[in-house]
Amino acid sequence: MSRMLLVLPWALAVVVIVLTQHLYILPYALFLGVILVALGHVPRYHDHPARRTYDLLFLAYLWAIVAVRCRPFRWSAPVELMLNMSEHIGFALVIGLLAYLLFLLLFRWPPRHALVAGLVSFNVLGIGNEFFQDAMGGNVLQGFDRDAWKDIGMNALGSVLLYVIIVRSHRAPQTPVRT
């Protein structure tokens, strides 16, 4: 995916965030945009065969967040809970994958070390995110509430899923290609 095709959907997501006045999402979108641009300048990522898939996955996640957070309507409480849980599992899968790729391709760490470092970094980021959300809500350092603990748990569950996916994908048997 060319850089322009990568920047355009990102910029449109930022415009939707600003127009709907859900500005608390803006730091996340900016962080993801900076990371995507930085990754695009890493030759090992730029030449990676799955780069386009990863780029689309990262942008799809941003748009999923925009769709979930900026929509003008609300669902029932159980549906809202499931959307929030899915959002946090997706947060772990996508941002954990992003962190893994940064350690693997930018710092050239071995895959297993990059995976562990990426998941630890992501979970530290997830806990920091809960502090950030508390600060935005005016509840600085009051201790996590039930919702924050649920979010941290969903982040951990998503991390375990990502770990299993990546480890299994590296162990997958290679099938011969017929020509």
Residue type, 135: A
Q: Which of 75, 76, 70, 98 minimizes the C-alpha distance to 158?
A: 98
Q: Write the CB contacts of 88 (distance below 8 Å, at least 6 apart in sequence).
A: 126, 150, 151, 154, 155, 158
Domain ranges of the chain: 1-73, 76-171
User: What does the pLDDT read at residue 173?
Assistant: 57
pLDDT tens by residue, the chain, 179 residues? 567 778 899 999 999 999 999 998 999 899 899 888 888 888 999 888 889 899 999 999 999 999 988 887 888 999 999 999 999 999 999 999 999 999 999 899 999 999 999 999 999 999 988 887 777 777 766 678 888 899 999 999 999 999 999 999 887 555 554 54
Structure tokens at 39: 């990754």
Max Cα distance, the chain (Å)? 63
Exposed/middle/buried for residue 168 (C-beta within 10 Å: 0-12, 13-18, 19+): exposed
In this prediction, residue 176 carries a pLDDT of 52
pLDDT confidence of residue 121: 95
Q: How far apart are CA 101 and CA 36, in angstroms?
A: 11
- CA-to-CA distance for 55 and 62, rounded, in angstroms? 11
Contacts of 131 (CB under 8 A, 6+ apart): 140, 141
Q: What is the pLDDT of residue 179?
A: 46
pLDDT at 141: 64
- Residue 90: the pLDDT is 93
Instruction: Please tell me the predicted confidence (pLDDT) of residue 140.
Output: 65
Q: What is the pLDDT of residue 76?
A: 92
